[in-house]
């Protein structure tokens, strides 16, 4: 299974990266503590988040579910979206078309 998308990949990654930032402990995916994350400068954080978004996009191509810290991601093939649950009160939908 691969993710099908019609939008520019960079736009999808931008939105997915922004959604991942709302997961309070997403940096744990890198096996980092909050202190280690805070020590990184903005450019380093941006690279880490973008890399995570890219990696998770491809994970969702082989499995319809993935996790990042306490957050959950789901690829909904029928609707052409990636659902990012950052918390019970905050859910992002990243359109692929």
Query: How far, in Å, CA of 15 to CA of 39, rounded?
Result: 24
Asked whether 68 and 40 are in contact (CB, 8 A), the reply is no
**Residue written as token pair 């191509």:** 61
- In this prediction, residue 1 has a pLDDT band, given cuts at 50, 70 and 90, of low
Residue 13 has pLDDT above 90, yes or no: yes
Whether this prediction's pTM lies above 0.75 is answered by yes
Element (H, E) at 84: strand 81-87
Q: What are the residues whose beta carbons fall under 8 Å from the beta carbon of 18, sequence distance 6 or more? A: 92
């Amino acid at each position: 299974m691969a993710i099908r998308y019609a939008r520019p990949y960079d736009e999808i990654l931008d939105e997915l990266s922004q959604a991942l930032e709302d997961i309070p402990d997403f940096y744990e995916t890198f096996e980092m503590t909050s202190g280690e994350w805070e020590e990184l400068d903005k450019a380093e954080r941006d690279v880490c988040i973008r890399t995570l978004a890219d990696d998770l996009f491809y994970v969702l191509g082989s499995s319809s579910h993935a996790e990042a810290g306490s957050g959950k991601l789901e690829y909904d093939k029928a609707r052409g979206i990636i659902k990012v649950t950052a918390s019970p009160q905050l859910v992002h939908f990243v359109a692929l078309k």
